[in-house]
A = this chain, B = another copy of it.
Amino acid sequence: MGIAERKEREKTERRQAILAAAQRLFNEQGFDKVSMRNIAEAIEYSPATIYLYFKDKNELLFALQNQAFGQLRRAFESLESIEHPGERLQALCRQYVEFAIEHPELFELMFIMTGPMEAVEAQGERAPWASGRAAFDRVVQAIQHGMDTGVFRCPDAEVAALMAWSQVHGLAALYLRKRLVFFPEEERMAYMNKSLALFNHMLEYGL
C-alpha cells in the first residue's frame, strides 16, 4: 500500500511548498504583501487551491508562526550553555530584542499579529499555543534554575518570567511599531540598550 503513503507525502510536500513560498514573500516583501493571491502566484497555483491545504489564511499564518518559533528556539538553545542563571536570563532578554530587530516580520507574526492567534483560538485546545509556551518555558527554567541555586529570591518563577518577557516584549514592540519616534534616530538604539541594561541591573539587585 505505498500509494496512499505517496499521496500523503505529496500532500504534505505541497503544503510545505505553500508555506515556503509564503515565508519567502514574508521575508522579501513584508507582511502586508502576503496575500493569498500573491502566494498562489508564487507557487503557480490558483488562489482557491491553497484552501485545499489550509482552512483559511489564519491557519496558514499559524503554520508560518510555528516555523518561526523554530528559529527563536534555536537562538535560545545556543544560550543554554550559559551556566550562571543571571547571565543566562540577561542573554535571553537580549536575544529576544535582537531577534525582533533582525527579523521584524517573524517577530510580528509570532508576537503581534492577531491572525495566527485566531487560528489558535479556533483549535480550542486544552493546552493552547504550545510553541509560545515552549519559548516561555526557556525563560521560566532559567529563573527556576536561579531560584534553586539561590541566586534569585522571588516567590514564583512563572511570574518573574512573565515580568521579564513583558519587559523585552514591550521594548521590542514599541520600537517596531514606531512608538519611539520621539527619540532621535541616532540615539534610539542607545536608549533601548541603556533601558535594557537598567532592567538587567535591577534583576541583579532586586530579583
- Report the separation of the CA atoms of residues A55 and B96 in the bound assembly, to the nearest whole angstrom: 37
B interface footprint on A51-90 (CB within 8 Å = 1, 0 otherwise): 0000000000000000000000000000000000000000
Number of copies: 2
A17 in contact (CB, < 8 A): no
- Report the separation of the CA atoms of residues A113 and B179 in the bound assembly, to the nearest whole angstrom: 10
The answer on a CB contact under 8 Å between A169 and B173 is yes
The answer on a CB contact under 8 Å between A177 and B114 is yes
The answer on a CB contact under 8 Å between B112 and A163 is no
The answer on a CB contact under 8 Å between B179 and A170 is no
Residues from chain B with a CB closer than 8 A to the CB of A167 are 163, 166-167, 170, 199
Residues from chain B with a CB closer than 8 A to the CB of A182 are 127-129, 132-133, 136
- Report the separation of the CA atoms of residues A81 and B84 in the bound assembly, to the nearest whole angstrom: 43
